[in-house]
């Protein structure tokens, strides 16, 4: 595992939609994340190829909070603990920065992400509707898209 670098951008962005099962995700991950948040973001490589990545940052407004914007693991490498390793690295970094809350969001259709975050100890923040038994925040994206908000309190 190593820190994300701006030079990782082409390789990761070209795989993004494929790793998300064909969903169009590229627009949500502009290059600026690779430029400005590399010190709180990591990749895992296998034989020189990125097989997992996490992009997160320290909230500027909420001084107790870190935010995970994206996590992805190569489909052939899933269920091997890589996502967990990336999250644990981020949790450690947040503790080192004195942050004890971690937040992330996902789409309610992404059941894998809901299962993963639940397993990683996140709780779902109550929303304004329940969709297929999950609390969601309706129209979170301003274009009709609902989102699930996760929050985890880190044990010091």
Ligand X SMILES: CC(C)(COP(=O)(O)OP(=O)(O)OC[C@H]1O[C@@H](n2cnc3c(N)ncnc32)[C@H](O)[C@@H]1OP(=O)(O)O)[C@@H](O)C(=O)NCCC(=O)NCCS
Q: Is 80 in the site for ligand X (CB under 6 A)?
A: yes
Cβ contact 16:52 at 8 Å = no
Matching residue, tokens 């639940």:
118
User: By the 8 A CB rule, do 86 and 94 touch?
Assistant: no
Return the number of the residue (15 or 95) whose C-beta is nearest ligand X: 15
Q: How far is the CB of 53 from ligand X (least distance, A)?
A: 9
Residues 6+ apart with CB under 8 A from 138: 127, 128, 129, 146
Tokens matching residue 99: 């942050």
Establish if 82 lies at the interface with ligand X (CB under 6 A). Answer: yes
How distant is the alpha carbon of residue 103 from its chain centre? 9
Whole-angstrom Cα distance, residue 89 to residue 92?
5
Among 101, 110, 134, 145, binds ligand X (CB under 6 A): 110
Alpha carbons 112 and 115: distance in angstroms, whole number = 5
Q: How far is the CB of 66 from ligand X (least distance, A)?
A: 15
Stretch that binds ligand X, among 32-40, 78-86, 121-129, 145-153 (CB under 6 A): 78-86
The residue number with the shortest CB distance to ligand X is 83
The yes or no reply on residue 138 touching ligand X (CB under 6 A) is: no
Q: Which of 1, 11, 32, 115 binds ligand X (CB under 6 A)?
A: 115
Question: Is 56 a residue that touches ligand X (CB under 6 A)?
Answer: no
Nearer to ligand X, 11 or 115 (CB): 115
Number of Cβ within a 10 Å radius of residue 50: 17
Q: Which residues bind ligand X (CB under 6 A)?
A: 19-20, 70-73, 78-84, 106, 110, 112-113, 115-116, 119
């Amino acid at each position: 595992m190593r820190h994300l670098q701006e030079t990782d951008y082409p390789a990761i962005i070209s795989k993004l939609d494929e790793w998300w099962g064909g969903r169009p995700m590229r627009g949500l991950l502009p290059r600026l994340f690779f430029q400005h948040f590399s010190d709180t973001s990591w990749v895992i490589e296998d034989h020189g190829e990125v097989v997992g990545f996490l992009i997160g940052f320290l909230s500027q407004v909420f001084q107790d909070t870190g935010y995970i914007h994206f996590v992805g693991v190569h489909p052939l490498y899933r269920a091997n603990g890589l996502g967990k390793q990336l999250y644990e690295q981020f949790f450690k970094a947040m503790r080192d920065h004195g942050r004890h809350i971690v937040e992330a969001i996902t789409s309610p259709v992404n059941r894998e992400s809901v299962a993963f975050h639940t397993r990683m100890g996140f709780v779902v923040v109550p929303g304004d509707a329940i969709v297929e038994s999950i609390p969601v925040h309706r129209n979170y994206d301003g274009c009709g898209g609902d989102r699930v908000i996760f929050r985890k309190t880190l044990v010091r």
